[in-house]
Structure 1
Amino acid sequence: MQYTKKIIIDLPLEKTVEFMDSLENLKKWQEGLVQAKVIRGNFGEKGAKTELKYDFGKRKMTLIETILETDMPRLLIAEYTTKNVYNIQRNTFEATQDGKTIWTSESEFKFEGLAMKTFGFLIPGAFKKQSLKYMRDFKNFAENQ
C-alpha cells in the first residue's frame, strides 16, 4: 500500500525542521508515544535507530525507526518496523515564497502474516488517517510554540 499526504506549516523551513529534528519534541506531538530511545547512532542521522514505544490503551506497540537517508532541511527517509508491518516514509520539506513550509510524506507499507495483510487490505484508510493526524498534530505543535 502506498499513499502521499501533504500539509502546509505556517513557519519558515528552518524553524519547522528545528522542531521536527528533536527527540525531546516527539512526545509533544505524537499521541500515544510514551518512550523514545536512541538505540544506535545519533538521533536524526543516517543509520540511527530509535525505539519508539506507544500506548493506545488496550493496544501497545513498539516501533524501530531507522534513518535511511537524510539531507535536512529538505529530505528525511526513514524505515519503521514492528511485528508484521514494514513502513518506509519519504519526507520532503519545501520553503514557500511566503515563508511557510510544505511537508510531503510518501508512505509505503508492506504487511506480513495473514491477519496484517487482511487488515491492510480491508482498512487502508486507517493508516492514511493516522499519518495525516500526526502531520496535523505536528503542525499544531510547531505553530503554537
Structure 2
Amino acid sequence: MEYTLNIKIKLPINQVIEKFNDEDNLKHWQKGLIYREHLSGTKKSTGATSKLVYKIGKREIEMIETITLVDPPEIFHFTFDSKNVYNIQENYFEQLSNNETKWISKNEFKFSGFMKIISFFMYGAFRKQSYAYMKDFKLFVEEGKSVLSN
C-alpha cells in the first residue's frame, strides 16, 4: 500500500524543521505516543534507531524507528517496524514563500501475517491516521496547540 500526502504550513522552512526535529515535540502532535527511547546510533542521524510506543484504542503498539536518510532542511526519511507492519516514510519539506512551507509525506506499507489480510480494508484508516498527524503538527507549529490538551 502506497500513498502521498501533503500539507502547507504557514511558517518558514527553518522554523518548521526546528519543530519537526525536536524529539520533545513529538508528544504534542503524535496523539497516543506514550514514550520514545533512543536505542542506537547518533540521535537525529542516518542509522539511528529508537523504540516508540503508542496507545491506540486499548492496544499498545511498539515499533522501531530507523532514520534512513537525513539531508536538512528538505529531506527526512524513516522506517517504522512493528509486528506485521513495516512502514517506509519519506518526508520532504519545500519552501513555498518566506512564510510558507509544504510538507510532503510519501508512505509505503508492507504487511505480513494477519495484517496482510486486513490491510486491504484498512487503506483509508492508515491514510487518515497519517494525515491526522500532519494536521496536528501544523496546529502545533502554527498555533502552539498540543494534542495533550485534547
The RMSD of aligned alpha carbons is 1.0
What is the Cα deviation at residue 32 of structure 1? 0.3
What does residue range 27-66 of structure 1 map to in structure 2 within 5 Å?
Answer: 27-66=27-66
**C-alpha distance in structure 2 between counterparts of 1:3 and 1:61, whole Å:** 22
Distance 1:137 1:118 in 2: 30
Equivalent runs, 1:47-126 vs 2, <5 Å: 47-113=47-113, 115-126=114-125
The 3-state SS of whatever aligns with 2:93 is: strand
* Aligned-residue offset at 1:98: 4.3
Superimposed CA distance per residue, residues 63-100 of structure 1 (whole angstroms, 9 cap, x where no aligned partner) = 11100011011001100000010000010000012421
The match for 1:10 is 10
Which aligned runs of 4 or more in structure 1 are off by greater than 4 angstroms? none
1:127 aligned partner: 126
Count of aligned pairs between the two proteins: 144
| SS of residue in 1 equivalent to 2:86 | strand
State the identity as a percent.
44
SS at match of 2:24: coil
SS at match of 2:11: coil
The answer to whether the Cα contact below 8 Å between 1:91 and 1:105 also exists between their aligned partners in 2 is yes
Secondary structure (helix, strand or coil) at the match of 2:134 reads helix
Gaps of 5+ in 2: 145-150
2:138 match: 139
Distance in 1 (alpha carbons) for counterparts of 2:28 and 2:116: 31
What letter matches 2:129 in structure 1?
Q
SS of 2:23's partner is coil
> Which amino acid is 1:22 matched to?
D
| SS at structure 1 position matched to 2:18 | helix
Deviation at 1:42, TM superposition (A): 2.7
- CA offsets, 1:12-69, max 9 Å, x none? 0000000000111111111000101111123321001011111124111011110001
TM-score computed with the length of structure 1 as normaliser: 0.96
